[in-house]
Amino acid sequence: MRLTLARGLLVLLGALSLFGLFHEQIFSKTYWSAAGALRFEVYLAACALVLGVVVWRWPAQVLRVGGGLALGWTIWWAGPVAPVVVLFFVGSCWALGRCLTKSADGLTATLLGAAAWMTVLWVSLHFPVNFWWVYVVAFAVPFAFVRPVVVLPKAQGRAEAIGAAVLLALLGAQLLAALKPEISSDGLAMHLALPAWVANHGLWHFDHRQEIWALMPAGADALYTGVFLLGGEAAAKLLNFAFLCLTAAMLVKSGRRWTSGARAYWGAALFVSTPLVLLVTGSLFVENVWAAFLLASVFAVLEGEFGVSGVLAGSAVAVKLIAAAFAGPIVGVGMLLAGARRWRAAVLAMVFAASPYVFAYAKSGNPVFPFANTIFKSDDYYTDTNFTDGRYADLRPGLTTPYELTFESSHYIEGRGGAAGLQYLLLLLPAALLARRREQWMIVGVAVVGGVVVLVGAPNLRYLYGAMPLASLAIAWVPWTAVLGGALALNLWFLPAAGFYDQEFALFRKSDVPAYMVEHGPSVPLVERLNREAPGEPVAFFSDGAVAGLKGRAYTDSWHNEFYWKRIREAASAAEIASDLKQRGIRYVVGPTDRRALFDVVQRFMELWLDPEPQGAVGKLTLYKIRETERPVPKDTRPLGPGDYDDREPRIEYTGAWFHDNQFAEPRNGTLSYADAAGAVLRFQFEGQRVTYMFTRAVNRGIAEVWIDGALVRRVGEFADQTKWQASEVFTAPAGMHTFEVRVSGRKDRRSVGAFVDLDAIHVE
């Protein structure tokens, strides 16, 4: 009966999935670049040929052969140091875990050791002890107490070998993406920037007054630092990949509890094929680390290792606060099952989670700085508004959320439809219906409860990553291998959908790297040049926050340096910006080659105060030097005559903190200028008798005041519950010369969630 109901549910969800695929026109969208698609096809063909032969002739050896090929490619591409460093560190984690617990299996012991090392490394970031030789000695110590054991796994039978080969091929694809040089915003601004700073200075500065994120939990970054000091960027990225491998291995091992080995491999492969996995593995994110800790924590509960489970759950929270959405239910279940030892897991979880939050409270007065500052009211950040990601703050979970996560993923991540993978919409509910044992219900319950908490509190698809291995473990016990394979094949179609960093898939020739970095990571060679020519000097970055490796302090136009950036964007003039930078000792600026900026005053600074350095242009960025005096540029004061004018028309003068945005396709010419601070003004002169003011109506719009020749002529309410692009209002005046102004009033409709006023275009008659 239960199987029949599950089949019926599968049919209904399959129909919904087909509707989503065609209604959202998934197959008509471009996910890969032309070169990336070709490389991916070549890679899949090579895997089918090589692994197919191995499965046919020597099925038991497929894991060994695949692993050996992956190691050989890594050594050829990155050199021997980085992979040896990562293997050495993972081995040290296993040995340390074995010292801490004798009863846990090897995978759990490895994650336990990683959690212990993470705590030690995070503490070491505070002191000038972070040198490569210190880490070599430290990582070697656990081997003195445990005899190393190398286990070379074998597949049992041809069906299992086929599943193992599919998993290996997908892990190989993730490896190739991870071996590319880092180009992601988060990687180059934070997760690689911290290890590089420690390598240059011996410790991390924890200066949250300059870099707002400096007190955020840095457990994964501490781990990356440990291998970065020994093997560089490649080692840090390979460690991120190693955590994915540990997760996949745990999924296979755990899946065997309820299903065959072959289907356990397919379940793990389905998880690895998820587009979101490519995003967080191909670039240096932290999700693989805290998700592996959470899965190992669940695995420890299943094995009755409740203390180990608490350590791992707490360690996940020490990597990222949002992991608490899943760690809480795991610890709660562990307490229910632990009997007399029920408090052990909770206490250990709190101990291993606490260090970054206690330290943040001691430094700033806010344990989750800069989040929730309206509650903790740290003097080091705004106390009247909480730090949130405004892109997703208004999203609320509902019945349509699973569909939106699957096919309208861009609502929840900077990606495209399909980013979450198809399998969770299609198979998770049937898997829950087929659950029969208490531990199966625990797995589904933790995934669902944690996912709902994330969607309510911080609805970002990347934060749901902790639920995905657990949901994949549940999916592995559904009895429809063909359906698993079909979902996996669809995932491959939109594999890069979760972001825009992996459309090229991988690089097969080392000679392709320089051109790749010019196009995708131009700040990296510029940082290397600055370290040679101006070592240790502070540098300002505009329109790019990729500062990893810079030996001096970096000042970026982003929330990372909020107070500096607020002063810059609200400067009264370009000269004031130049004076501010000079007072900070800044001589060099990295900025866009076309000198376009989000704020008008910043663009004026770039036009009037910067000279490009010789051979300073790298792709879309250029290295500039600040002038001693402002470049004299005559201002165009001609009135606007009859015709159409975009919001970026040079004769439109913006006063105040106006934001010039080009991320939307719907406005005229794809650009939009907006502000929400009362008193911000845009003005221009026109010669004619009729002006059409074009703007956007939306849920966060306020009331604009339109003035002609110094007199208020109309208040325009720009709020609408549905976005209306290129809305317009018409204003008339006697024929002749006039001054037209749009002022931000700071007032809004009671239903509006903001007070923004914008300009899309102007038409003069």
Cα separation, 757 vs 717, whole angstroms: 9
Query: What average pLDDT does range 421-435 have in this prediction?
Result: 90
pLDDT computed for residue 235 by the predictor = 98
Q: Is the pLDDT of residue 342 over 80?
A: no
Burial of 491 (0-12, 13-18, 19+ CB in 10 A): buried
* Interval 57-70: pLDDT, tens: 998 889 999 999 99
User: What b/e readout covers 279-312, taking b as 16+ CB neighbours within 10 angstroms?
Assistant: bbbbbbbbbbbbbbbbbbbbbbbbeebbbbbbbb
Q: Are 541 and 590 in contact (CB under 8 A)?
A: yes
- The per-residue pLDDT for range 625-659, each reduced to its tens digit, is 999 999 877 778 889 999 999 998 889 988 887 88
- pLDDT at residue 338 above 80? no
Query: Which has more pLDDT, 345 or 698?
Result: 698
Q: Average per-residue pLDDT in the chain? A: 91
First-last CA distance in the chain = 73
Q: Report residue 52 as tokens.
A: 């197919």
**Structure confidence by residue, pLDDT tens digits, 187-202:** 999 999 999 999 999 9
| Spatial distance between the Cα atoms of 470 and 291, rounded to a whole number of angstroms | 9
Of 389-403, 627-641, 716-730, 732-746, which range is least confident? 389-403
- 479 pLDDT exceeds 90? no
C-alpha pair distances (Å), 140 with each of 92, 144, 720: 7, 7, 63
- 16-24, long-range: CB within 8 Å, 24+ apart, which pairs? 16/403, 16/425, 17/406, 17/422, 17/425, 17/426, 20/403, 20/406, 20/407, 20/425, 21/407, 21/490, 23/407, 24/407, 24/408, 24/417
Q: What percent of the chain has a predicted confidence (pLDDT) above 90?
A: 68
Can you give the pTM of this predicted structure?
0.88
Of 25-34, 594-603, 607-616, the range with the highest mean pLDDT is 607-616
What pLDDT does 390 receive? 66
Residue 351: what pLDDT?
Answer: 93
Q: What is the pLDDT of residue 1?
A: 74
Q: Which residues are within 8 A (CB) of 386 and not within 5 positions of it... i.e. 6 or more apart?
A: 371, 372, 373, 374
Give the model's confidence band at 152: pLDDT under 50 very low, under 70 low, under 90 confident, else very high. low
Confidence tier at 458 by pLDDT (50, 70, 90): confident
Q: What contacts 24+ positions apart, CB below 8 Å, involve 260-263? A: 260/159, 260/160, 261/155, 261/156, 261/157, 261/160, 261/163, 262/157, 262/159, 262/160, 262/162, 262/163, 262/481, 263/163, 263/476, 263/477, 263/479, 263/481, 263/484
CATH class of 643-764: mainly beta
Quote the pLDDT of residue 360. 96
**C-alpha span between 165 and 63 (Å, rounded):** 7
pLDDT score, position 393: 66
Q: Domain boundaries in the chain?
A: 2-498, 515-626, 643-764
Q: Which of 19-33, 506-520, 528-542, 605-619 has the lowest mean pLDDT?
A: 19-33
Residue 341 has pLDDT above 70, yes or no: no
